[in-house]
Amino acid sequence: MAQESNRPESSQHAGSGDGAAPRTQATDGTGDASRHMREVPKPTNLVRSFALLSLISISVICCVAALLLSRFMERALVQRDAIVTAELIQSIAEHEEPDLAFDRPELLSDEEGLGELFIHITKIPDVLRANVFAPDRSIVWSNDLALVGRRFVDNDELEEALRGQMVVELGKVAKSTKNEHAFFKDGVTDFVENYVPIWAHDHSMVVGVVEIYRAPTALFETIRGGTWLVWSIALASGVFLYTTLFWVVHRAASVMRRQHALLVESETMVAVGEMATAVAHGIRNPLASIRSSAELALEEETTEIGREATRDVILEVDRIGQWLREMLLFARPERGELFEVDLGDTVRRSLDNFERTMARQHIRSQVHIADALPPVKGDAQLLTQMFNSIIANAVEAMPNGGSLDVRAALCREGKELEMTLSDTGTGIPRAHLDQVLKPFFTSKRSGLGIGLQLVKRIVERHGGRIMLSSVEGQGTTVTLTYPVPGA
């Protein structure tokens, strides 16, 4: 099948018009329409842009949120653990007179004095070390005797605790930056460090600070489990959000593409309508005069050569008239009223119109239409024009003969009527197969590029579908599918 056609054989006149329109009007009209069509913007690749930008944005947001939440959870758990530890230490200290004990350091080392209470602190689970600082920053008691008497002045946490603030730190051993870490046992890497201020009996001043290093396994396990949970939820939320938004944007992009295609088609219709109107006004009257004169000459002509030449003139006039009708049908608004149409009878009438041409080109036609096919709702004139265009393409694709096979039957349990028109012509190149149904696409010098697009437009107006399959050098098959009313 050729890629588009405008040449069905007909004996109808080209028609008459009101008069020839000035050339300037036709040129201006089509020029304005063309410029208007070029103004239609091409849709941006919304899906690709969104896929990249949203992936980056959602990843950053999820990572930041997970990091902040995990840090907050970690800080809250450590703070709560520190409060419990501080309350325990303060309750131990309140049973004695801490202000007197810190004034008399010998009481701190006396196992029967306050020192015994601090020894109980070392019995708290997971305690690695306990140090007691005097207000002068020196260690007056420790479960590590090597530290007793040492003074630590480069300790910001200690300074803050001496001002009455409880300090808690979750960290790793840093032997190079903090002197008291140098005496940790090997194998200890993570710790919780608590600085608990010891208040005087009347809570008027801080008389000392208790420093505890702990490695609470249960706390660390809880933190790790909570962190894993936070990051898992963040990952799942990010994937869900990205997938949902991507689906929404993909649907929106599909709608935009369809709307853009409809907009382009609408602009194409405007251009075709303006062009068809201008051309029809300009040449229909001259065509009618030429055809009438040729018919009169045919009656007067006596030689066979002259009669054949006159018939060629009439044929070419009819071809030009058919061009005009195709353009006007192509741009004609859709009618709201449809009637029952027998597709079998319609395609047979179209085949009869091409009988002389097919006989001259040695083309055989075979019609296999099932009995009692139900009618479809449609416009008989448009459906006839549709079959004319398809058959004309098939005839042009078989200049040296061939066969045209037409079949029709019900499918999908009687819900649809399927008709196929297959030829054994030159076929359509694979590179052009996706383009032939687009407006004004043609590879022929004499084509307008609206024949198959007109077919597609008519099929879609009737709620049907069209599918082209072709093998270059072997032929083309056009499959038309229409819904059956009431099925």
**pLDDT at 438 (0 to 100):** 67
Per-residue burial over 345-360, b = 16 or more CB atoms within 10 Å of its CB, e = otherwise: ebbeebbebbeebbee
How far apart CA 447 and CA 193 sit, in angstroms, is 88
Taken in order of first residue, the domains within the chain and their CATH numbers are 126-215 (3.30.450.20), 334-487 (3.30.565.10)
What local confidence, expressed as pLDDT, does residue 354 receive?
87
Cα distances (Å, whole numbers) of residue 432 to 7, 25, 395, 442, 469: 21, 35, 19, 9, 11
- The pLDDT, as a whole number, for residue 136 is 85
Low pLDDT (below 50) residues in the chain: 2, 4-38, 40, 110-112
Render pLDDT for 51-106 as a digit per residue (tens, 0 to 9). 899 999 999 999 999 999 999 999 999 889 888 888 887 777 776 655 555 555 55
Buried b (16+ CB within 10 A) or exposed e, 239-253: eeebeeebeebeeeb
Report pLDDT for 174: 63
**pLDDT value for 68:** 95
Q: Please tell me whether the overall predicted TM-score, pTM, comes out greater than 0.85 for this model.
A: no
Residue 370 is predicted with a pLDDT of 83
User: Comparing C-alpha atoms, which of 5, 176, 7, 207 is closest to residue 97?
Assistant: 207
* Angle at 120 (CA atoms; ends 138, 143), nearest 5 degrees: 40
